[in-house]
Amino acid sequence: MCLAARLVAPLMLCSAAMSLPLPADLPGIGVDLVDIARLVAALERGGPPLRDRMFTPAEQEECEGRPNPGMHYAARMAAKEAGMKVLGTGWTGGVGFQDFEVISDGRTAPKLRLHGQAAVVASRHGIREMRLSLSHTDTMAIAFVIGICAVGPGAGTDPGVESHSVEPAE
């Protein structure tokens, strides 16, 4: 039995007992840990060109508007890496940093929105949503991402319809 099935099987039993719907398939999970000081040092060395390559303008605005920008950049970097692990692509096939964007309003759970080639790959896998959890200490940031498959009619055909987390490529 694969890891995802072993993790989900007990939840499905609980779900059946409590009548809570759970996704029929979890195509992938990803986790990544980022050393905040190392990322901050890399961003200082690379300057704005590196920051612009790694983070969307909205992510930069969000991070720079917070008391500890480095911590927030590190959490977003971890989310991007974890999202790639869900897709199983790594940094190949045209998938890049800008294809993953953490959306956060500070009041609700952050979301991982996909753009470009990452959205195309997600759609091929039937992924309609990427669930994201972020956390950090003073020195480390971690992200955990689960890809949720679309189920039912039209599953995987237009991931932007069922969720705003995965957007079709432009």
Q: What is the pLDDT of residues 82-130, one digit of tens each?
A: 999 999 887 777 899 999 999 987 788 899 999 999 999 999 888 988 9
Rounded Cα distance between 144 and 71, Å, is: 16
Domain-embedded: residue 17: no
pLDDT, tens digit, 9 for 90 and up, residues 30-88: 999 999 999 999 999 999 999 999 999 999 999 999 999 999 999 999 999 999 999 98
Domain-embedded: residue 4: no
Phi, psi dihedral angles at 33 (to 5 degrees): -120, 130
Alpha helices in the chain (DSSP H): 3-18, 36-54, 57-64, 69-87, 116-124, 159-162
Domain-embedded: residue 98: yes
For residue 63, what are its two tokens? Answer: 């991070």
Those residues with Cβ within 8 angstroms of residue 70's Cβ, 6 or more apart along the chain or in another chain: 36, 37, 39, 40, 43
Total domains in the fold of the chain: 1
Instruction: Return the pLDDT at 166.
Output: 53
- Give the global pTM: 0.75
Instruction: Return the pLDDT at 15.
Output: 32
- Top pLDDT among 120 and 22 is at 120
Rounded Cα distance between 40 and 22, Å, is: 38
Domain-embedded: residue 103: yes
Domain-embedded: residue 124: yes
Domain-embedded: residue 58: yes
CATH code of residue 44: 3.90.470.20
For residue 154, what are its two tokens? Answer: 């039209």
Measured in residues, the chain has a length of 170
- Top pLDDT among 167 and 92 is at 92
Rounded Cα distance between 3 and 61, Å, is: 37
> Do residues 148 and 26 lie in contact, with contact meaning Cβ atoms separated by under 8 Å?
yes
Domain-embedded: residue 155: yes
CA 31 to chain CA centroid, Å, is 9
Q: Which residue has the tokens 């929105």?
A: 113
| pLDDT over 80 (residue 145) | yes
Domain residues for the domain of 111 are 25-162
Helices 116-124 and 69-87 cross at an angle (nearest 10°) of 40
Domain-embedded: residue 11: no
| pLDDT over 80 (residue 25) | no
Query: pLDDT-based confidence at 24, cuts 50/70/90?
Result: low
